[in-house]
A and B are shown apart, each in its own frame.
Chain A
Amino acid sequence: MKIDIKHVAKLARLRIEDNEMAEVEKKLLSVLEMVENLPELTGNSSGLDRENPMELRKDEVKPSMKRDLILANAPETRSGCLLVPKTVE
């Protein structure tokens, strides 16, 4: 078995240096080997928690957290907004 580490890392938004690839793959393969022993089961796994259906809150307008409280943890803000690198050319 081979894992395309570069592809998986891209999906996970992780950066793995070329010199780390082999070690990352080796350890991941050892874990995959451990999880390979699952029995053959077929079916649809959705709705398995049938005895505990989740109940959502009503969609009601209520006061929410103050903006400056939320932004206090952000790495960078400007004019009451989160600041990120340019996303549209």
Chain B
Amino acid sequence: MELYTLSAAELAKLLREGKCTATDILDSVFARIDAVENKVEAFVTITREEAYAKAKEIDEKFARGEKLHPLAGIPIAIKDNICTNGVLTTCSSKMLYNFVPPYDATVMQKLNDCGAILIGKANMDEFAMGSSTETSYFKKTKNPRGLDRVPGGSSGGSAAAVAAGMAPISLGSDTGGSIRQPASFCGVVGLKPTYGAVSRFGLIAFASSLDQIGPFGRTVGDVAMLFSAICGRDPMDATSSKHEHADVLAAIQGDVKGLRIGIPAEYYGDGIDAEVREKVMAAVKQLEEAGAIVKEISLPSTKYALSAYYILASAEASSNLARFDGVKYGYRAKEYSDLTDMYERTRSEGFGEEVKRRIMLGTFVLSSGYYDAYYNRAKLLQRQIADEFARGFEECDVMITPTSPSTAFQFGANTSDPVKMYAADVCTINVNIAGLPGISIPCGNGADGLPIGLQIIGPKFSEDVLLRTAANYERICGGFNTVADLA
């Protein structure tokens, strides 16, 4: 058995039994990276030397008999919009092509404290704006389950690295579906936690009222373990919550007897491929046979989600990305006549087309005379959508929907039409708008052989229930943990 094919929990067990070392795990993972990274292109930066130095430290601690966190010695890939001290962090943008953060994001600090080993920074859509990782300035990540297909986005590198066996676990960020949709496309598990559950200090901001960091893994247990390591209040992020999180690792052992599953009809409409609907409903049926109670519910405001999302996200992005001015860090234009000209040339040369489009849209909807018509209305709709979910959760404990309307699409399929690309997020964005947790898990393959994902949504801070539901389906299926065959 190759170590790179094992889950983080299995590796943690072998480490404790003395059957392998952290260095052995890195040998296996880096051999896998050497064998398949040229096909998948999941990484912007690989931190081999630093990783081996850290592994040596961990192995010495194990040798001394120290009691270490389950993540100690486990390799992890981190999305390239999460700051890593001394390691290039580009947001997959020319604008930050040379940015080396002088500090760690809180999540990175926590993982370092656990002894997890950073092996590289994962490719993404530029500034997390996209659904296919095609807007990366550096490279196009391929879907390990079908190399002619996109891995989804924006956390495409994080999902692809895990699916390809180049890392057992990774972190991504999710503003409108950027963890769940690539998890669905790549056939892995991805959790977008409740807004406020995980600190965003050191996450390069896209849309601050929606962004959330979350874990990827090939098993529900690994995702639960990683979530429990990174969640919690952080004084450095005023939006992080003081909520006392349930023990998710204990929770996943529970069953689904009596669990009420809501099926929101609006998520199974015309825009969703028939085979996706069928696979998701087949999974729901299996959960029902395991004791869950299934009921139809309605979320009528779903149809406004894309509109509200692109107004809110673009408005916030236009404000957040104002900091990239060529003065403090990152790219600066070579030639300019004065300060304003330097700003304009730096930003026009440093940002890619999609980022500029969203900055323009955001600036427009916030500009004088349009604020009430767009931004204010979208903000009010955000409340309406959140209230609707809250009423829905009076009738059920979780909701199950498709994660994406289709399996992974081909490169270039949606790049010329932004509206078509945006529609890829139609099942996931409401969860961000309402600040809820959502998880995507694999539920079979389409006719093209590519993975289909289902999404489980719960009330705020119900990660334990989402993970329990996901773990039950995982047990019914006999496990998800498969590494893509890239021979």
Q: Do A and B bind each other?
A: yes
Measured CB to CB, the residues of A under 8 A from B are 3, 5, 7-9, 11-16, 24, 27-28, 30-43, 45, 48-49, 52, 54-57, 65, 69-70, 72-76, 82, 84-87
Report yes or no: B339 in contact with A87, Cβ–Cβ below 8 A: yes
Given contacts A48-B379, A76-B332, A87-B339, contact A32 B361 (CB under 8 A): yes
Please give the distance in Å from B243's CB to the nearest CB on chain A.
10
Given contacts A31-B357, A41-B377, A41-B384, contact A13 B103 (CB under 8 A): no
Report yes or no: A13 in contact with B238, Cβ–Cβ below 8 A: no
| Docked CA distance A72–B382 (Å) | 41
User: Across the interface, which residues of B come within 8 angstroms of A38, CB to CB?
Assistant: 304, 307-308, 311, 374, 377-378, 381
Given contacts A52-B241, A74-B328, A82-B327, contact A12 B363 (CB under 8 A): yes
Given contacts A16-B348, A75-B327, contact A8 B360 (CB under 8 A): yes
Query: Across the A-B interface, how many residue pairs have beta carbons closer than 8 Å?
Result: 145
Report yes or no: B327 in contact with A84, Cβ–Cβ below 8 A: yes
Report yes or no: A13 in contact with B343, Cβ–Cβ below 8 A: yes
Q: Please list the 8 inter-chain residue pairs (A to B) with the smallest Cβ-Cβ separation, ordered nearest first.
A: A45-B379, A73-B329, A75-B332, A41-B380, A69-B102, A35-B307, A54-B238, A15-B344
| Docked CA distance A87–B342 (Å) | 11
User: Across the interface, which residues of A come within 8 angstroms of B344, CB to CB?
Assistant: 13-15
Which chain A residue has the least Cβ–Cβ distance from B349?
Answer: A15
User: Across the interface, which residues of A come within 8 angstroms of B306, CB to CB?
Assistant: 34-35
Please give the distance in Å from A20's CB to the nearest CB on chain B.
10
| Docked CA distance A86–B338 (Å) | 7
Q: Which of B103, B345, B419 has its CB near the most chain A CB atoms (within 10 A)?
A: B419
- 12 A-B pairs with CB atoms under 8 Å apart are A5-B360, A11-B363, A13-B325, A14-B344, A14-B348, A14-B359, A35-B306, A37-B307, A43-B380, A65-B102, A75-B330, A85-B339
Which chain B residue has the least Cβ–Cβ distance from A16?
Answer: B348
> Does B235 touch A at the CB level, under 8 Å?
yes
User: Across the interface, which residues of B come within 8 angstroms of A13, CB to CB?
Assistant: 322, 325, 340, 343-344, 347
For chain B, the bracket of interface size reads 35 or more
> Does B409 touch A at the CB level, under 8 Å?
no
Given contacts A8-B367, A28-B364, A57-B235, contact A73 B380 (CB under 8 A): no
Q: Which of B100, B344, B381 has its CB near the most chain A CB atoms (within 10 A)?
A: B344
User: Across the interface, which residues of A come within 8 angstroms of B382, CB to CB?
Assistant: 45, 48
Which chain B residue has the least Cβ–Cβ distance from A89?
Answer: B338
| Docked CA distance A33–B311 (Å) | 12
Q: 6 additional contacts, CB 8 Å, given A8-B364, A14-B360, A33-B419?
A: A13-B325, A14-B347, A15-B348, A45-B379, A75-B329, A85-B338
User: Across the interface, which residues of A come within 8 angstroms of B329, CB to CB?
Assistant: 73-75
Given contacts A39-B381, A52-B239, A86-B339, contact A12 B100 (CB under 8 A): no
Interface string of B382-402 (1 = CB under 8 A from A): 111000000000000000000
| Docked CA distance A5–B348 (Å) | 14
| Docked CA distance A77–B308 (Å) | 42
User: Across the interface, which residues of A come within 8 angstroms of B209, CB to CB?
Assistant: 49
Report yes or no: A34 in contact with B239, Cβ–Cβ below 8 A: no
Q: Which of A30, A34, A35, A49 has its CB near the most chain B CB atoms (within 10 A)?
A: A35
> Does B196 touch A at the CB level, under 8 Å?
yes
Report yes or no: A55 in contact with B361, Cβ–Cβ below 8 A: no
Secondary structure at the B interface, as helix, strand, loop or mixed, is helix
CB within 8 Å of A: which B162-217 residues: 195-196, 209
Report yes or no: A48 in contact with B383, Cβ–Cβ below 8 A: yes
User: Across the interface, which residues of B come within 8 angstroms of A41, CB to CB?
Assistant: 377, 380-381, 384
User: Across the interface, which residues of A come within 8 angstroms of B239, CB to CB?
Assistant: 52, 54
| Docked CA distance A76–B325 (Å) | 13
Which chain A residue has the least Cβ–Cβ distance from B100?
Answer: A73
Given contacts A15-B348, A82-B327, contact A3 B364 (CB under 8 A): yes
| Docked CA distance A48–B381 (Å) | 11
Given contacts A14-B344, A86-B338, contact A72 B100 (CB under 8 A): yes
| Docked CA distance A7–B241 (Å) | 40
Report yes or no: B361 in contact with A73, Cβ–Cβ below 8 A: no
User: Across the interface, which residues of B come within 8 angstroms of A8, CB to CB?
Assistant: 360, 363-364, 367
Report yes or no: B383 in contact with A84, Cβ–Cβ below 8 A: no
CB within 8 Å of A: which B273-319 residues: 303-304, 306-308, 310-311, 318
| Docked CA distance A35–B364 (Å) | 13
Which chain A residue has the least Cβ–Cβ distance from B345?
Answer: A15
CB within 8 Å of A: which B350-383 residues: 351, 356-357, 359-361, 363-364, 367, 374-383
User: Across the interface, which residues of A come within 8 angstroms of B345, CB to CB?
Assistant: 15
Which chain A residue has the least Cβ–Cβ distance from B194?
Answer: A52
Report yes or no: A55 in contact with B238, Cβ–Cβ below 8 A: yes
Please give the distance in Å from A15's CB to the nearest CB on chain B.
4
Please give the distance in Å from A52's CB to the nearest CB on chain B.
6
Please give the distance in Å from A77's CB to the nearest CB on chain B.
10
| Docked CA distance A11–B344 (Å) | 10
User: Across the interface, which residues of B come within 8 angstroms of A5, CB to CB?
Assistant: 360
Residue from A3, A15, A34, A52 within 8 A of B307 (CB atoms): A34
| Docked CA distance A86–B340 (Å) | 10
